[in-house]
Amino acid sequence: MSHNRGQDPMDRSIVKKLPLLKSSINPYRPKPMLTRSNSPQLENDKRNGLDVQLPEETDPIIAKRVRWAPIYGNRSSSKTSTYITSMSNKQIRFDQDTPDEDRMANELRLAVHRGGGSIDPEKNYELRARLSPLQLPYSRVQRILKECELNERNNNTFSLPMDFGRQLVAMVCKVRTDNLSDLKMRLAPLLRQSKARFFNRHLFYETGLIEATLPSKSPLSFEDLNQTLRTDSVWCKVTESAIIDLEKCAVLFKCRPQELREVTEKLRQCSYKIMHTEVGQCPKKPLVDLTERQMKRYKEFRKKILQDEDVVKIYDNVRAL
């Protein structure tokens, strides 16, 4: 005590500012250390006390409730109750007890399919030829045509270039199908037998084709009809014209594909009766002349190709005999 009394005021302030040592308050405790196992027999996730197996969590089972609609009476098929015609575009072999209406309905469906998918007789030559001798009520015909139109929405029109007889004849097949690969597989065996193949030699160009007749009170000579075609072709934007039948005054006009509708309307204004219009293929080079034997083989091959219901038309560069 005497010693503290003898200190100067300055020394007392220094003693009061001395920091307190934590070691005097909190005793020293060593930190726990993890001992690593160097044993190669243990897996990595089972070392250092991590070998406890936890229970696996399973997903809860969720039960879904389904509400079933009540059924009143017997449920009938939609095909038999809604559609008159079959959904297939193939030729159907009917029984003897099949009504004539079902047979005619199938013929109309094939005519719509082979004619390009249009139900308009002015645009579909196959349908117009089938409707002329048909004896059915107008309401039934319209219902069948509406069914055909719904079925044809899934089909598309394609152009398949072919080569027959080892580059002897160039062909372009206009097909209408919903499965192009399946059609090629069906035609592949026939092509191998006839030495033909799917090959494009770029010998055709796309053009608009218009078949028409010129009604006249008196028969026209070849010079008069040819002069009339030349005069009308200039005003109607026709690129090329030809006489098909002189007695019936049947002619063929060619135009650009994008101007097909405009040219057709102008030909109607010139008193032409339009029979058929389409976007077809025309050869770029002169036509090929075949011998009698070659022509016979080619006609047989062409006939077999046209037997397929999806083949609409065939364009070639063969000169007709």
- Listed by start position, the domains of the chain span 79-154, 156-203+286-316, 205-283
Select from 121, 112, 141, 113 the least CA-distant residue to 275: 121
The correct answer on CATH 3.30.450.70 for the domain covering 156-203+286-316 is no
As to burial, measured by CB atoms within 10 angstroms (0-12 exposed, 13-18 middle, 19+ buried), residue 230 is exposed
pLDDT of 85-104, one tens digit each?
Answer: 555 555 666 666 677 777 77
Q: Do domains 156-203+286-316 and 205-283 have the same CATH topology?
A: yes
| The pLDDT value given to residue 34 | 56
273-283 β-sheet, strand order? 240-245, 250-255, 204-213, 273-283
Select from 282, 283, 289, 264 the least CA-distant residue to 274: 264
Question: Parallel, antiparallel, or unpaired: how do β-strands 250-255 and 204-213 relate?
Answer: antiparallel
- Residue listed under structure tokens 């009339």: 228
Q: What confidence category does residue 171 fall into, taking pLDDT thresholds of 50, 70 and 90?
A: very high
Highest mean pLDDT among 17-26, 150-159, 260-269: 260-269
- Residue listed under structure tokens 């005999």: 321
- pLDDT at residue 66 tops 50: no
Select from 281, 266, 52, 33 the least CA-distant residue to 172: 281
pLDDT of 284-316, one tens digit each?
Answer: 999 999 999 999 999 999 999 998 888 989 999
Select 205-283's CATH number: 1.10.3720.10, 3.90.650.10, 2.30.110.10, 3.30.70.980.
3.30.70.980
- pLDDT at residue 246 tops 70: yes
Q: What confidence category does residue 61 fall into, taking pLDDT thresholds of 50, 70 and 90?
A: very low
| The pLDDT value given to residue 73 | 43
- Give the SS3 label for residue 205: strand
